[in-house]
Amino acid sequence: MKQEKSTAAVSRKLIRRITKDSARPNEIRDAAFRKVIRSIPKGRVATYGQVAAAAGYPIYHRAVARLLRASTADALPWQRVVGAGGAIKLRFEAASEQRLRLQLEGVAFRGAKVDLESHQHKFRVWDLDI
């Protein structure tokens, strides 16, 4: 008699597969991410998860981080993408540079985090045309 796989086992397997997949470049997915990131206006921010969801890949927030890490510094407005809750996820000088760039764009902070209540961008999917 064959045993049914538990829901938890299937979920872990799916999470592993998505994590592996998001670590690999995918031109179609990356192009969608680039388009969404470029649509974030000055003075606004979006989270990695928001960018992924707006691009049509709601659980691929790590792929957004991978794309930004692999992109050249001035290819995308990378400073406008932050972690959940408005946290700057970069380290050392890169974190200071992101904070400075955002402040120059008029983004306010509450302690170490961006004031998302005032500066979080709300994507309108019909404007993205992905």
pLDDT tens-digit series, residues 10-40: 788 888 888 888 888 899 999 999 999 999 9
Which domains occur in the chain, in start order? 7-128 (1.10.10.10)
> In whole angstroms, what is the distance from residue 4 CA to residue 25 CA?
34
Q: At what angle do helices 27-38 and 61-70 cross, to 10 degrees?
A: 80
pLDDT tens-digit series, residues 95-119: 999 999 999 999 999 999 999 999 9
Query: Which has the minimum average pLDDT: 4-8, 54-58, 111-115?
Result: 4-8
